[in-house]
Amino acid sequence: MSGKRATREAYGPTLVELTREGADIVVVEADLSKSTTTAKFAAAYPERFFNAGVAEQNMIGTAAGLASGGKVAFTGSFAVFATGRAYDQIRNTVCYSKLDVKIAPTHAGITVGPDGGSHQMLEDIALMRVLPGMRVLVPADVHAAAAAIRLAAATPGPFYVRLGRAAVPVIHPEGVEVGVGRAAVLREGDDVTVVACGVMVAEALAAADLLAADGISAEVVDAFSIKPLDAETLLASARKTGAVVTAEEHSVIGGLGSAVAELLGEHRPVPMRRVGVRDSFGTSGEPDELMAHYGLTAADIAQAVRELIGSS
């Protein structure tokens, strides 16, 4: 469990494995199969791969039709186009008809890097989370990504699986067990709960090390399933620590922080801070530079914890 790999690396290969195992999977792409890695699926199963060209609405609609015809339809493109460009298709055709469409786009978040704000999707969790029946999974590393893709394939109904472009630390073992509505406590602690998703889980673990040096004991939870949330695990942790910091590579509006705040606000109000992008578009830069620029590093999480504990 070391090194760095992009979550998208799991995508195409896992779909190939699942099909080899007998799953009735098809893929609809929108001219980005090399970047999303579904080109690997296209090479293995060309009769099950369909390129819509640069036409994301049609990509989602075609996937819906395939799902209506009994297929498990994976579809993607980059997160910004797969969600925003085709939102009505996802809402009115996929979700309203409760179809087995698995939207698993790559290139979510600011770690897209130099392509800049137009391509750095920071609102997708919010957009997908609000749709009735849509389940939202945000894997923290390549192994969780493979598990998330398998979970989405095996579970009926629409899914959104958020994948990234940049190599991120591998923190889970291969074959990690995941579930819909299931978070994982990666590190136990008593003073604060840090709930993170995606690339921010690795940052949260690093933040816990920084805080330990200050004598602050942080519990780190990999939320993984943003919708549904693992209410039991999160409430138990909040009850124990009495303070919660969320961390996401996404807008603080509508994403993990909002989901956790909704849960705690209704069931266990505790002092809280949200680490994320603050109502802003992204900008060009290298992923590491951007993580610092937008305040998404381990040091930023640790600082949020210190402020929270100091204020309460």
Of 58 and 283, which has the nearer Cβ to another protein? 58
Q: Which residues 241-260 are close enough to bind another protein by CB under 8 A?
A: none
Selected from 20, 53, 154, 190, the binder of another protein by CB under 8 A is 53
Choose the binding region for another protein from 10-18, 53-61, 111-119, 197-205 (rule: CB under 8 A): 53-61
Q: Which residue has the tokens 């799953």?
A: 23
Cβ proximity to another protein, 60 vs 302, nearer residue: 60
Catalytic entry in 9, 29, 47, 56? 56
Q: What's the CA angle centered on 252, arms 211 and 132, to 5 degrees?
A: 125
Rounded-to-integer distance, Cα 243 and Cα 248, Å = 17
Q: Which is nearer to another protein, 91 or 306 (CB)?
A: 91
Query: Closest separation between CB of residue 4 and another protein, Å?
Result: 37
Which of helix, strand or coil describes residue 216? coil
Which part of the chain contacts another protein (CB under 8 A), choosing from 49-57, 138-146, 184-192, 274-282? 49-57
Amino acid identity, residue 63? A
String of contacts with another protein for each residue 29-48, x by CB under 8 A: ------------------xx
C-beta closer to another protein: residue 41 or 224: 41
Size of the site for another protein (CB under 8 A): 31
Q: How deeply is 29 buried, as exposed, middle or buried, from its count of CB atoms within 10 A (0-12, 13-18, 19+)?
A: buried
**How far is residue 281 CA from its own chain's centroid?**
18
Contact set for another protein, span 55-114 (CB under 8 A): 55, 57-58, 60-71, 73, 88-89, 91-93, 96-98
Tell the smallest beta-carbon distance from residue 226 to another protein (Å): 24
Alpha-helical regions (H) of 242-297: 256-267, 287-293
Secondary structure of residue 264 in the 3-state scheme: helix
Strand partners of residue 218: 192
Between 97 and 312, whose beta carbon lies closer to another protein?
97
Residue 158 lies near another protein (rule: CB under 8 A): no
Are the C-beta atoms of 277 and 296 separated by less than 8 Å?
A: yes
Tokens of 147: 């598990």
8 Å CB contact between 142 and 10? yes
Known active-site residue 56 = yes
Please, which residue, 94 or 183, has the CB nearer to another protein? 94
Q: Are 80 and 118 in contact (CB under 8 A)?
A: yes
Find the shortest distance in angstroms from Cβ 94 to another protein: 10
Q: Which of 42, 48, 46 is nearest to 23 (CA)?
A: 48
Torsion of CA 304, 285, 36, 168, to 10 degrees: -40
Query: Smallest distance from the beta carbon of 24 to another protein, in angstroms?
Result: 8
Binding site for another protein (CB under 8 A): 26, 28, 47-48, 50, 52-53, 55, 57-58, 60-71, 73, 88-89, 91-93, 96-98
List, by residue number, the catalytic residues.
56
